[in-house]
Amino acid sequence: MTRRAWIGLLLFGVLAGCGRPGFPVAPDDYGIGLRMQQERQKEERARKEAAARAAAEQKPEEGIVAPPDEITLPDMRPVGGR
């Protein structure tokens, strides 16, 4: 057999033995992708529960006072000098 025939047989054997060429793709039902998705769902649930608790704990204020029109700020001191 010629050199091309051996290379062709070798290439065909590798492709047939591997099933399909390329890197394997991890399925979605296990592995890091599933863990990350579950963690995101837990965080989202915890965020929603915290927001619901905060909304339930807030009491409506009866005497809401509007802020004054002018706010006096403390005098600014110079930082460094030339």
**pLDDT recorded at residue 40:** 94
Specify the amino acid at residue 67: P
**pLDDT recorded at residue 41:** 95
9: left (phi over 0), alpha (psi -120 to 50) or beta: alpha
Distance, in Å, from the CA atom of 7 to the CA atom of 67, rounded to the nearest integer, reads 84
- Give per-residue burial for 32-50: e unless 16+ CB within 10 Å, then b: eeeeeeeeeeeeeeeeeee
User: pLDDT at residue 4 above 80?
Assistant: yes
Q: Tens digits of per-residue pLDDT, 5-62?
A: 888 888 887 776 666 666 666 666 667 777 888 999 999 999 999 988 887 776 666 6
